[in-house]
Amino acid sequence: MAQLVSLWNFLRSKKYLITIIAFAVLIFFLDENSMLRRWKLMQEETALREEIDKYRTEYEENTRLLNELEADSGSIERIARERYLMKKSNEDIYVFKEDLKQ
């Protein structure tokens, strides 16, 4: 019984602290919109925005190449040589490892 009374006295004296701690645990960990979930969603949003930027630059580059192909017929040959390593029948091509990594 004495332990129960001492526990009650402790809880009564620290009721505001216990309430604040319980609220913080609820907000940061247990709630559906917890801070952990929000942090994970922010990380996912950042990753998706980076992916959007990557695809946007790729789209702009492809659009530029398409416009170049429509304007100049000689650029088709240049792109075929650079990207697909095509050659004329009397030429030799030397490919370096650094060029393949790009």
pLDDT digits (tens, 9 = 90+) for 10-29: 888 988 998 999 998 888 88
What pLDDT score does 75 carry? 77
Residues 51, 21 share a domain: no
Asked if residue 81 is part of any domain, the answer here is yes
pTM score, two decimals?
0.53
Q: Is residue 41 part of a domain?
A: yes
51 and 82 co-located in one domain: yes
The answer to the question of residue 3 being in a domain is yes
Comparison of pLDDT for 44 and 95, the residue scoring more: 44
- 37 and 75 part of one domain: yes
Determine the 3-state secondary structure of 2 from DSSP.
helix
Which of 56, 62, 95 has the alpha carbon at shortest distance from 79? 62
Per the domain annotation, does 101 fall within a domain?
no
User: At residue 21, what is the residue type?
Assistant: I
Q: Total structural domains in the chain?
A: 2
- Identify which has the larger pLDDT, 87 or 43: 43
pLDDT of amino acid 43 = 97
pLDDT at 73 over 80: no
